Amino acid sequence: MNFHRMLAVSRKEVLQVVRDRRSLLIVLVMPLMLMTLLGYGVNLDTKHIRVYALDREGSPASQDLLKRFQSSEYFKLVAMVTDYRALHAALDDGRCQLAIVIPHDFSARLHDGRPVKVQALVDGSDANTAQIAIAYAQGVLAGYGAAIQAAFFRRSNAPAVNPSISIETRTWFNEDLESKNFIVPGVAAIVMAVVGTLLTSLTIAREWERGTMEQLISTPVTALELILGKLIPYFALGMFDTAICVSVAVWWFEVPFRGSIVTLAVGSGLFMTVILGLGFWISVITRDQLAASQIGLVAAFLPSMLLSGFTFPIDQMAVGIRPVTYIVAARYYIIILKGVFLRGNGLRVLAVPALALSLYTVLMVLLAKRSFHKSLV
């Protein structure tokens, strides 16, 4: 392999990128745009659930219970109503997601030590939010019940009865359970997949459409020199975009970074090589810029978004879909990103996804090399 010929091809590719405004927009603008849209748009935290309340008693005890909902960051007590009709209307037109009904004998039952049932009506059109709202409401009621019980024991001078079994939780790696901490690093994988595939899917197709492929074929440059010469500039641009995404994640979205830059660079380099090989292969087989960019976008974006574990847990997918996720390269890169950002894992812990990406890299390079021939047919 002649490095001078390879560098000459790389220099030619850099000039084409600099002269092509579309490529510059993909390199410079798209990463920031996708990081902003996905970083803010994809949020799994459920807070400020809109609540309407029907207090049929209006006692200090019932008002104290409603204040607990009001003081919680997960609920927003929007309005108090006086009858069921207004409550149903609010649920019907979406003004509230949760309706609380406090019975007329709330205080009397508490005073007598009898069970009290507080009704909660939940909008089930959004099943995920409904389940979360029910769990949060049960937590508020459990806290209120424990406070009432403790007050009863203090008044009666009776010894408090502690539960024989209790659970003490401590959250590791994402202490505040904020969804942005595991979503934003995954956005970097989506950005790299889209940008890398779009850029390289145009390389060979552009040469065919502009009629310059015949000149390249007539030169002494070999197929391997041509492939490497074309991919090296895009590899550098992809790693530059990765650095931008990581910087935005750490300094703008304040995602903790506990791992090693070296581990992140190795994982990113492997994933970028896979993506560039995929885009190059698409460009070779299509020979058309429009078709190549469309196929590249579908082949890179949809699997990375839906089947990599970025938005949906793979364990919760249908049994028939889970094996398909093993052929999505972004699955392994997202494991590396989460391990580096949140767990501070090194290459020893992340050996399995790194090895999978390595095998994927070899496969894509071989596929790109076998698909490209220096011929006009």
For 204-220, write each residue's pLDDT tens digit.
888 888 878 778 778 88
pLDDT reading at 198 higher than 70: yes
Tokens 């398909």 identify what position? 324
pLDDT at 313: 85
pLDDT reading at 41 higher than 90: no
- Lowest average pLDDT, out of 20-24, 145-149, 332-336, goes to 20-24
CA dihedral over 32, 271, 324, 370, signed as positive or negative: positive
The predicted model gives 27-48 an average pLDDT of 82
pLDDT at 331: 93
pLDDT reading at 333 higher than 60: yes
The predicted model gives 140-168 an average pLDDT of 74
Contact 207, 213 (CB under 8 A): yes
Tokens 């509230």 identify what position? 96
What's the rounded Cα separation, in Å, for the pair 370 and 158? 82
Q: How much of the chain is in helix, strand and coil states, percent to nearest 5? A: 65, 5, 30
248 vs 311: which has the higher pLDDT: 248
161 vs 368: which has the higher pLDDT: 368
Mean pLDDT for the chain overall: 86
- Strand, coil or helix: what is 331? helix
CA 309 from chain center: how many Å? 8
Percent of the chain clearing pLDDT 70 (strictly above): 96
**Residue 372: band (very low, low, confident or very high) from pLDDT cuts 50, 70, 90:** confident
Contact 68, 145 (CB under 8 A): no
pLDDT reading at 262 higher than 90: yes
pLDDT reading at 357 higher than 90: yes
What's the rounded Cα separation, in Å, for the pair 279 and 73? 45
pLDDT at 158: 65
Record the tokens describing residue 128, joined without a space.
Answer: 């995920």
Instruction: State the distance between the two ends of the chain, measured CA to CA, in whole angstroms.
Output: 24
Closest CA to 36 of 235, 192, 261, 191: 191
Q: Is the whole-model pTM more than 0.85?
A: no
pLDDT at 44: 74
- The DSSP symbol for 158 reads P
pLDDT at 76: 92
The predicted model gives 85-91 an average pLDDT of 90
